[in-house]
Amino acid sequence: MRRPVALRLQAALGTLALAAATGVVLSMPEAAAAAGGATGYATQNGGTTGGAGGQTVRATTGTAIHQALCGRASSSTPITIEVEGTINHGNTSKVSGDSCNTAADKIELKQISNVTLVGVGNGAVFDQLGIHIREASNIVIQNVTVRNVKKSGSPTSNGGDAIGMESDVRNVWVDHTTLEASGGESEGYDGLFDMKANTQYVTLSYSTLRNSGRGGLIGSSESDVSNGYVTFHHNLYDNIDSRAPLLRGGTAHMYNNHYKGLSKSGINSRAGAKAKVDSNYFEDSKDVLGTFYTDAAGSWQVSGNIYDNVTWSQPGEDNNPAGPDPQSNTSVSIPYSYPLDDASCVPDVVSATAGANKGLKVSDGSCTPQNPDPTDPTDPTDPTDPDPTDPPTGTNLSIGAGSDGSSKASGTSYGDVRDGDLGTYWSPAGTTGSVSVKWSSATTVSKINIREAAGSAGTIGSYLVLNHDSGAVLASGSGAGVIGFQAVSLKKITFEITGASGTPRIAEFETYAP
């Protein structure tokens, strides 16, 4: 059984812990920085390195992210914040300090520089909570999921943008992220990746953007044309209505992206913008390139693209599609080198590399996904760690407590995990799900024991242990058994199964005090 991350960190780090509110300082080289380096336009203007060379802190809540920013010596002191678990409105509050300017309804990277946010362990999910970059520079965001951020309805965050940049932003690298919504503007969502008000030198790489009315924009209006120098490569745009992206002024480079299911339009070059469009794969889409919804024309340079089942509208006063036989009408000089996959293999390469929790795999132009640089962050392991499978001692606090959880399989009960009977069990309705133990008053817990029912041993794969009150991740790992973590007082603790080889069956969810 893989050891829980919380136990391995505790043994490896010892007295290097910061205050619990701000996370854990990681000083080992293998946990010091995001894998690889920036690509595309983010390499220009001095480059983009984020928090490289600075302190590394672990955060499991939005508040802890803000506290890490505010705890720096200055607003430019380099810092890498390793994020694990679900970040939401319930665990994200405003924090004040001389080195930060935060807000309660979003992750606020405002008036700061030299910061890396990277998802680790079982991943980081920003749920209905956007990431806002304003008056900032040298920012890296890697291996995170941002989903269902709304501008209307409840709750709202970041103007409805998953990741939004505005007001003199410079040098941002967003890599291996998953940005997704559940509809368009009528359902309360806006853009997935927006840049405006003088945002420059940005790269979006190896990311998945899906299920949204708007993929993103560069420039908020026809007069907002001071943005640009943006690279998009090895991204998947899937089930997007339009804006993949919308480009107003400036220069953008799109290469080796896979676009599918664009229902209205794709790359929309307007208001004097220039788009260099290299070796992309466009599939099952409409009007994937051109100037749309305006008479303020943009331009494009095309080479090596594949158009698979792409339809084109008729030209009109406010409609200038590049197809059905796209030809270049400008020339764009690219100041950096880049390995270029043949468009024919782009769907396979992007499928294997794009999005969060894909192992940070990349392409070197050979049409074969590659593992990342061996210096990518991994959880530190100390061979002297105590064996976490030692049977716990003391009183099982689950006996006599309450329980609930996600949808359960027919014939099973939440109560079966706290009845002391190994012959009864709870199962989720599918292969993943969660079950909780709860008390009427705050109870201190530092260890749990997950016992699988007879015949199902080894079914449970990856998991999270959550403080249900705050949303904080207490531990993560793989397999059933004893899981220890820093003692915490709570009313409800949740065991969330995020991966399994079949339908899990939990006979007992035992809880123990320190």
> Which residues form the catalytic set?
243
**Per-residue DSSP letter, 105:** T
CA angle (491 as vertex; 437, 21 as ends), nearest 5: 120
Distances (CA, A) of 9 to 276, 300, 449: 45, 50, 19
**Amino acid present at 113:** S
The percent helix, strand, coil of the chain (3-state, each to 5) is: 10, 45, 45
Q: Which residues contact 129 (CB under 8 A, 6 or more apart)?
A: 62, 87, 88, 89, 92, 105, 106, 107, 146, 149, 157, 158
281 pairs with which residues across the strands?
258, 306
Are 423 and 456 contacting, i.e. CB atoms less than 8 angstroms apart? no
From CA 506, how far away is CA 414, in angstroms rounded?
A: 10
What is the b/e burial string over 73-95, where b = at least 16 CB atoms within 10 angstroms of the residue's CB?
eebebbbbbbbbbbbbbbbbebb
Token couple for 93: 């509050």
Token couple for 34: 């995001």
Can you give the three-state secondary structure of 454-490, one letter per residue?
CCCCCCECEEEEEECCCCCEEEEEECCEEEEEEEEEE
Q: How far apart are the first and last CA of the chain?
A: 23
Q: DSSP strand E in 77-207: where? A: 79-87, 107-110, 113-127, 131-134, 137-142, 144-147, 163-166, 169-175, 178-183, 191-196, 199-205
Alpha-helix runs per DSSP H in 304-408: 346-353
